[in-house]
Chain A
Amino acid sequence: MDDLLSEFLTETSESLSTLDVELVKLEQNPNDPDILSNIFRLVHTIKGTCGFLGLPRLEAVAHAGENVLGKIRDGELVVTAEAVTLVLESIDTIKYLLGELEQNEAEPDGNDAELIARLNHFADTGEIPGGAPAAEAAPAAAEEAADEEVPMTDDEKLQAAFDAAEYDPDFEVPDEPAAAAEPEPEPEAPAKPAAPPAAAKSQEVAPAKKPAEKAKAEPRGETKESSVAAQTIRVNVELLENLMTLVSELVLTRNQLLQMVRGKDDSEFTVPLQRLSHITTDLQEGVMKTRMQPIGNAWAKLPRIVRDLALEMNKKIDLQMIGADTELDRQVLELIKDPLTHMVRNSADHGLEDIPGRRDAGKPETGTVTLNAYHEGGHIIIEISDDGRGLNLDRIKAKAIANGLTTESELESMGDQQIQQFIFKPGFSTAEKVTSVSGRGVGMDVVRTNIEKIGGTVELKSVEGRGSTFIIKIPLTLAIVSALIVESGGERFAIPQISVLELVRASNNSEHSIERIHDTPVLRLRNRLLPLVTLKRILGLDNSDATDESLDEEAFIVVAQVGTYSFGIIVDRVFDTEEIVVKPVAPILRDLSLFSGNTILGDGSVIMILDPNGIATRTGEITVGGSQGVEGKAKQDASDRETTSMLVFRAGGNEVRAVPLALVARLEEIDVENIEHSNGRPLVQYRGKLMPLVFIDGSYQMKAEGRQPTLVFQDRERTMGLVVDEIVDIVDDVLNVELTADQDGLVGSAVIDGKATDLIDAGYYLELAFSDWFGNEESGGEKKRVLLIDDSPFFRNLLTPMLSVAGFNVTAVENAEQAMELKNRGNQFDAIISDIEMPGMNGFEFAEALQDDAEWGEIPIIALSSHTSEEDFERGRQVGFSDYVAKFDRDALVSTLIQTLSSM
């Protein structure tokens, strides 16, 4: 059977049993709004699910029932015994239909028009049409049954029941032959408890249909004990929790016993203890398994929902599901199921445009909704993203004001991100029309509440025109994780295995040794420079005043990853991995961000669980805490993955240095004899001009004679030579500036060709040469003001001096938000150079935002990007970029800038 259907059946039969009880309760307390809303909700759920599964007959009955309940809820109708009977009757019909569904996987033919009519009549008038036969509730089925059923003896009945199993939909035969047979001996028997009073009434009115009534009433009553429902049972999670605690205790006791017997070779206990040990382990695993489920279970319904939605809304939707096997605590899974479904529905319904809309926006016709689940740093992350139209800020603003949530002036001071958060407020839906699936204004607030209930968070990122991403982060509080046990400062700690990439043993004699930049320890690891943190130190366990020198002899390094940022944690010892149940720490310790929880180990000791996320944030090269940081880093990494040609050279000392090849105009060898001096500065005649020579640093000594390799940097008419010792190589490598140096002339360090290499700041040397030699030339004329926006410090460092040298007055900011601030402060510029990929507001949005701006609308914007596809180009022009320049293309940038400015 279809998984979806089977789950529906299980769920619905549970709901129905609850309904029976609740309805009876309602009859007794007709004015209890809680009971009523509970009933309403249950029926509503059934109706909703039927809609998705394509079960029109079931849906129609549920809908009519819901109508009646709705009227009762609104106080238009009064709860009477008749009303309850009528509703119960519709519930029975639903049960009957479900029974059919379970056997045949399809709804039986026929309709329930009569019942629905009565329900509607009641809903409209509040009167119960008297004495209508319940049997007609499902006339077709009943008649069909009546045709076949003639009174039989017990045995005959039993036999017939077995025979009928194949085709007779009215029998619940294989499981309950006895039950099926039982009521038959007395066809005139009073109505069974399962059949409502209405059924009894029907006996008087339509005696001829009695056998059919019997046959029908029977399966109705018994369906909920049916085969599908019986395969699973629901257990209170608390019970499992207790079981888990008991098992943990058992494991501890077992371990203690093992300890006692160990060392006694021929103890009579050895064999039984081993057996006990195995059973305990199995039991432990079993209990753990009961709590864990792959998240795919919660996703199973989604493809269907999305498909139906696509048909209904006339969209093409591709639902991608990644990480379906990510395991989640059952309880957590249950709680996020509905929010997830809701969010996917939202994405597909509101997020994605329809086909013409997408075509107009220049997107492929098929929209994509992506679900991605993974573990990260002690959390489970679920991302729901779509490439649709994104959130409409203006509409959110309008709605927020209309709902009285904020004022216009407050909105003014809010960032886009803040404004987007309004969608999590109750009653907030910006959908223009209410569809059958979403837009009713219940939604995101409920989603958020549900997720926060389990200690999770929801984040939202949306770019108008490009889509939205929701990121749900659920802590592992309830989950079981495998953890690495380490020791530091005499204490043991657990690190979630999920964030551990590898273990490295570093010592002076092995290939891995800890190196130091100033006092910062780093480790070379497969062409990467890994920042290190000393656990002892950040935990304040480092009582000794000894320097880190002792560490250098031998250290264990746990390489951990948080998001896209990896770093090494230096620990004293590494033990084993252990499966642990994460328990939250006591409230008084909650603000210790370095720990995600604590747990009890197999040997009975309590151990703190380290949160790599917290450690990364604490040691803080990057802000890992905010999603923007992670995102920004990820994006940076993405662009960094493109290789860059680097010129590697040596100058003054043994360390290798590098400079992007694109910045170097030529490589020359200059005869030392040709070097002349002017005003105490070295220069050479080069191509009919004087070229200043600069050295890597003040202490650099040139060769006394022979030829000196020189890197020639050219900037328009000017050239400058950087004197070096040796040109080592030209390497194509990923340029990943790992550590930013504060030293003048250095951009930072990077691993290039497997070696830690200092990356020199060409701009610095250009400035060095030109400020001395040509710098004052420009000061007479007015410099053009240029605003440079780039999130990468590397490019900012590279371009700022270079543009200054080219005669521009450069202001560099990290992101578009900062640029906006400058704008608001009334700063003016002649041109703006903006990166495209930036965290937060990207270049396109920035340009778009400026297009109609009063102050800055006229300023030409030049886009700077590592991606220069035709599409980007087009998009750039649309949003108002004046030109598009590839990163690293220094000359093009300068000439474009000059062109743009002169054309104004």
Chain B
Amino acid sequence: MSDKNALVPSQEKGGALELGGDSQDFVTANIGKQLFGIPVLTVQDVLGPQRITRIPLSPPEVAGSLNLRGRIVTAIDVRKRLGLRDREDDDPGMSIVVDEGGELYSLMVDQVGEVLSVPKKAFEQNPATLDPRWREFSDGIFRLDKKLLVILDVTRLLDFTSSVKQAG
């Protein structure tokens, strides 16, 4: 909670008119101890635990598919995608549904936080030493008080062909 409190001032600043064009809004999510951000406009929905149908033979990062109000959504295990280990507790986690090229994907994360408005001047490029896998999926970093917000590049996160090529 402390991080959220720390962010309140920046949100207030973001709300101020003169700074309106200088900040960006992100839906935040926790995976492990890391805070991630997804541009708010790409997000369709935030879901609690869902019944997911496994898809045999699919890439391991694909957790399965689920029904979101009559539309079929492909669930992506972001932990696996980032090369993290599975969670040890059996907290079912939450999902952020994004639209990518007309298809819906549900990004499975540990916890979905609030929507943050962060000042653009807090933006940093990916550090050159970042894990290449992370570097591929990260659009950059925002320096927040006490925390760093990694911005997920949803398009690349969902582009399985390029990572296959990389692997090969």
Contacts and interface: CB of A to CB of B under 8 A. Distances in A.
A583 B67 CA distance: 12
Interface in A363-387: none
A204 interface: no
Nearest to A618: B57
Contact of A586 (B56, B57, B105): B105
A252 B69 CA distance: 10
A605 interface: yes
A606 B69 CA distance: 11
Contacts of A551: none
B87 interface: no
A607 B67 CA distance: 10
Which one of A491, A586, A604, A607 has the highest number of Cβ atoms from chain B below 10 Å of its Cβ? A586
B72 interface: yes
A248 interface: yes
A886 to B, nearest CB: 48
B74 A600 contact: no
Interface string A580-617: 00010111110010110011100011111000000000
B66 A606 contact: yes
B62 interface: yes
Which one of A246, A249, A606 has the highest number of Cβ atoms from chain B below 10 Å of its Cβ? A606
A683 B157 CA distance: 77
A589 B74 contact: yes
A598 B65 contact: yes
Contacts of A540: 56-57
B132 interface: no
Contact of B53 (A246, A248, A592, A605): A605
Given A248-B70, A600-B67, A588 B56 contact: no
B55 A605 contact: no
Contacts of A194: none
How many of chain A's residues touch chain B, expressed as a range? 20 to 34
B58 A605 contact: no
A594 B57 contact: yes
Contacts of B58: 589, 592
A586 B74 contact: yes
B61 to A, nearest CB: 9
Nearest to A608: B55
A589 B72 CA distance: 13
A206 interface: no
Interface in A534-584: 539-541, 583
Which one of A245, A248, A491, A608 has the highest number of Cβ atoms from chain B below 10 Å of its Cβ? A608
Interface string A234-253: 00000000000110110010
Which one of B66, B70, B72, B158 has the highest number of Cβ atoms from chain A below 10 Å of its Cβ? B70
A607 B160 CA distance: 22
A587 B57 contact: no
B51 interface: yes
A607 B53 contact: yes
How many of chain B's residues touch chain A, expressed as a range? 20 to 34
A592 B72 contact: no
B70 A249 contact: yes
Which one of A489, A588, A594 has the highest number of Cβ atoms from chain B below 10 Å of its Cβ? A588
A604 B67 CA distance: 7
A585 B160 CA distance: 14
A489 B54 CA distance: 11
Contacts of A249: 69-70
B55 A589 contact: yes
B101 interface: yes
B103 A491 contact: no
Contact of B57 (A246, A492, A539, A605): A539
A491 B64 CA distance: 11
A605 B51 contact: yes
A600 B101 CA distance: 21
B59 interface: yes
A600 B55 contact: no
Contacts of B53: 491-492, 605-608
B158 A606 contact: no
Interface string B64-86: 11110111101000000000000
B54 A491 contact: yes
Contact of A588 (B57, B62, B70, B71): B62
Contacts of B105: 586
A491 to B, nearest CB: 6
Nearest to B56: A539
Contact of B62 (A492, A589, A604, A605): A589
A607 B65 CA distance: 8
Interface string B36-63: 0000000000000001011111110010
B72 to A, nearest CB: 5
A583 B54 contact: no
Contacts of A491: 53-54, 56
Contacts of B67: 600, 604-606
B162 to A, nearest CB: 11
Contacts of A598: 65, 72
Interface string A482-513: 00000001011000000000000000000000
Contacts of B54: 491
Contacts of B66: 606
Contacts of A492: 53
Interface string B108-152: 000000000000000000000000000000000000000000000
Nearest to A599: B72
A492 B56 CA distance: 11
Contacts of B65: 586, 598, 606, 608
Which one of A248, A252, A587, A592 has the highest number of Cβ atoms from chain B below 10 Å of its Cβ? A587
A586 B103 contact: yes
Interface in B82-108: 101, 103, 105
Nearest to A246: B70
Nearest to B103: A586
Contacts of B101: 587
Nearest to A589: B58
A587 B159 CA distance: 9
Nearest to B160: A588
A798 B118 CA distance: 80
Nearest to B53: A606
A583 B70 CA distance: 11
Contacts of B103: 586-587
Contacts of A607: 53
A254 to B, nearest CB: 14
B102 to A, nearest CB: 9
Nearest to B65: A606
A489 B65 CA distance: 17
A606 B57 contact: no
B155 to A, nearest CB: 12
Contacts of B51: 605
A144 B72 CA distance: 65
B57 A592 contact: yes
Which one of A246, A249, A605 has the highest number of Cβ atoms from chain B below 10 Å of its Cβ? A605
A343 B113 CA distance: 59
Interface in A200-251: 245-246, 248-249
Interface string A603-646: 01111100000000000000000000000000000000000000
Interface in B7-26: none
B76 to A, nearest CB: 8
A581 to B, nearest CB: 10
Contacts of B59: 588
Contacts of A588: 59, 62, 74, 158, 160
Give 6 closest A-B pairs by Cβ, nearest first: A539-B56, A586-B74, A606-B53, A606-B65, A245-B70, A588-B160
28 contacts: A245-B70, A246-B70, A249-B70, A491-B53, A540-B57, A585-B74, A586-B72, A586-B74, A586-B105, A587-B101, A588-B62, A588-B158, A589-B55, A589-B58, A592-B55, A592-B58, A594-B57, A598-B72, A600-B67, A600-B70, A600-B72, A605-B51, A605-B53, A606-B53, A606-B64, A606-B67, A608-B55, A608-B65
Given A586-B103, A606-B67, 11 more contacts: A248-B70, A249-B70, A491-B53, A539-B57, A588-B59, A589-B55, A589-B58, A592-B55, A598-B72, A605-B51, A606-B72
